[in-house]
Amino acid sequence: MDDANPLDLAPLDLDPIEIPTEPLEPASQAVEAALLTVSTPGFWESADLWATPILASSIVAALLGTVGVYIVLARAAFVSAAVSQLAGLGVVVVLLFFGGLLDHVEPAARLGGLAFGVLGTALFAMPVSTTRTPNDALLAMAVIAASALTLVGAATLTSEYQHVQNALYGDAVVAARWEVWLMAGVAVALLAPERRLRYRLLFALFDPDSATAQRVRVTRWRLALGVAISLAIGLATVVVGALPAFAFSILPAATALRFGLPLAGVFVLAPVLGLVAAGLGYYLAFVWALPVGPTMVAVLLVPLAASAFRRGD
């Protein structure tokens, strides 16, 4: 065995490398650009990255676009805000008290958010026998309290900071496949009977006394609507975040109503606006490296602003 070459490897016969001293040729610049493209792939090349999140956001947008029409007509925007904020608080509470005990923190936190959202709506649905505080002020207090407690709790969760941020402002970029299936199931369950029940629900909202006098079970229909709203917003909040969920539940419907369309048109335009905002918002966020949820909300503001130029009926 040769001491100088213990592995018995033959020396490589390599040509000396010539390092160019002149500027790169145009062909070389094209190669460099191609390499850069590979290192930061384009939107369409990254379909496997965004397909699931965009699908989740689209389902949320379509569902809340439709449900939002009822929310806006019932003048229950604060309920929507309160539910989404409470869902955010639910995420923080789970992380705060059970974060160290659970193996699967992310799903548990999201389920906690959903539970808080649904619980919050159940509380709002209860009759409040007070004349000292108007209902909208009670809801505003719930929003404020939930927001403050969420932020206070989040301040102590440095390691789970990203979870909290996602819960509050949206994490559509990382939606999981199980969330898509769950969201799709809820959307089908809620939207399938909506068309047939539409006028009953609207009768109960538009003129509850007349509906009751005509033996329509107003309380039951309003409760069913409240459960549907809480389920849709609570679930949407844990999938895309409180801000996008709140925005999808209000802005598309409010915009569609501002365009002065007939009822059927409102129920078509609102989910379409939501779908466009979900897709375009995600695309713009990807291309310009912006936060996904707020970008979707920003897209929703464009048709809302355009509706201001429409003459009222």
Partner 1 sequence: MSALLELREVGIGYRPGSPLVPPINLTVGRGAFVGVVGPHGSGKTTLIRTLCGVLPPIAGAIRFPSGPPTIGYVPQQAALDPVFPLTAREVVAMGLLPGLPRWQGLGRAQLEAAEAVLETLHIADLAKRRFRQLSGGQRQRVLVARALVADPDLLVLDEPAAALDAVAEQQLYHQLRAIHGSGKSVLLVSHNLAHTAGISTQLILLSRERSFVRAGDTGEVMTSAVLSEVFGVQVHVEKHDCHYDLHIGAHQHGHPHPGGAAAHAHHG
Binding site for partner 1 (CB under 8 A): 72-73, 75, 193, 195-200, 202-203, 205-207, 209-216, 257, 260-263, 266, 313
Cα–Cα distances (Å) from 295 to 1, 65, 91, 262, 302, in that order, read: 68, 17, 22, 29, 11
- Residue 300 to residue 293: CA distance in whole angstroms: 11
Q: State the minimum distance, in angstroms, from the CB of residue 185 to partner 1.
A: 20
Judged by beta carbon, residue 66 or residue 150, the one nearer partner 1 is 66
Tell me, what amino acid is at 100?
Answer: G
Cα–Cα distances (Å) from 214 to 52, 194, 203, 217, in that order, read: 47, 21, 11, 9
Sign of the torsion formed by the C-alpha atoms of 97, 103, 105 and 111: negative
Judged by beta carbon, residue 16 or residue 312, the one nearer partner 1 is 312
Judged by beta carbon, residue 106 or residue 194, the one nearer partner 1 is 194
Full DSSP string of 70-98: HHHHTT-HHHHHHHHHHHHHHHHHHHHHH
Judged by beta carbon, residue 78 or residue 286, the one nearer partner 1 is 78
Cβ atoms 282, 51 nearer than 8 A: no
Q: State the minimum distance, in angstroms, from the CB of residue 289 to partner 1.
A: 39
- Residue 91 to residue 106: CA distance in whole angstroms: 9
Q: State the minimum distance, in angstroms, from the CB of residue 55 to partner 1.
A: 29
Q: State the minimum distance, in angstroms, from the CB of residue 262 to partner 1.
A: 6
- By CB neighbour count within 10 A (0-12 exposed, 13-18 middle, 19+ buried), where does 191 fall? middle
Judged by beta carbon, residue 174 or residue 261, the one nearer partner 1 is 261
Task: Check residue 282 and report its DSSP letter.
Answer: H
Q: State the minimum distance, in angstroms, from the CB of residue 257 to partner 1.
A: 6
Q: State the minimum distance, in angstroms, from the CB of residue 210 to partner 1.
A: 4
Full DSSP string of 261-280: --HHHHHHHHHHHHHHHHHH
Tell me, what amino acid is at 263?
Answer: L
Q: State the minimum distance, in angstroms, from the CB of residue 260 to partner 1.
A: 7
Judged by beta carbon, residue 104 or residue 311, the one nearer partner 1 is 311
Judged by beta carbon, residue 196 or residue 311, the one nearer partner 1 is 196
